[in-house]
Copies of this chain bind each other. A is one copy, B any other.
Amino acid sequence: MDKHLQKPKIHKIETVARSRLFNVESVDLEFSNGARRIYERMQPSGREAVMIVPVIDDHIILIREYAVGIEDYELGFPKGLIDPGEDILEAANRELMEEVGFGARRMEILTKLTLAPSYFSSKMNIVVAQNLYPQRRQGDEPEPLPQVRWPIAEMMKLLNEPDFREARNVSALFLAHAWLLQR
């Protein structure tokens, strides 16, 4: 397969808009065929994130969290940014304690996903957490996150739930399902 594509040359990167959370950059690009484009993207932050599929008693645990982009609650797996100094599994365990009230004695990283890489640099590490024990840590959630325990035997039926629709959640479901089947 052709892995030797010649990357465009970046002539200039400029910040064109800035808010508390977002920095929008314009990137002046010249493709190898001479085509010139100005693209916009979010400034790469370098911080990765984790999404955790917690397994307990033949069930997986999901949460319902308010998502202001769609002004509705979404069903999905606990997740969050990796803090400076944390590694992937430390962050996964902390988020699990904050959002679900469990720690995990066994965790495995399944993969690292990107998200609309034409605009964002963000990377999401998918982690399966097993051998859970009750352990609550205070997070910054504005309200408690309702939990759902879903039987592993019927895991793929989650795809029929109208509020289980997020691409990283859907990917994590399939990846965790394949991983659990192999065990």
- Which residues of A approach B to under 8 Å, CB–CB? 1-3, 5, 7-8, 10, 16-22, 24, 26-27, 29, 31-33, 35-37, 39-42, 44, 64-74, 111-121, 124, 142-143, 146, 148, 159, 163, 165-168, 170-171, 174-175
Does A167 lie within 8 Å of B167, measured CB to CB? yes
What residues of B have a CB within 8 angstroms of the CB of A65 in the complex? 118
CB A122 to nearest CB in B, in angstroms, measures 8
Does A117 lie within 8 Å of B41, measured CB to CB? no
What residues of B have a CB within 8 angstroms of the CB of A143 in the complex? 31-33, 35
Q: Which of B44, B70, B114 contacts A117 (CB under 8 A)?
A: B70
What residues of B have a CB within 8 angstroms of the CB of A73 in the complex? 5, 7
A5-B146, A33-B143, A166-B113 given; A120·B22 CB < 8 A? no
Q: How far is the CA of A74 from the CA of B5 in the complex (A)?
A: 11
A35-B143, A143-B35 given; A69·B118 CB < 8 A? yes
Q: How far is the CA of A97 from the CA of B167 in the complex (A)?
A: 25
What residues of B have a CB within 8 angstroms of the CB of A165 in the complex? 111-114, 117
What residues of B have a CB within 8 angstroms of the CB of A1 in the complex? 148
Q: What residue in chain B is nearest A168 (Cβ atoms)?
A: B167
Q: Which of B74, B116, B159 contacts A166 (CB under 8 A)?
A: B116
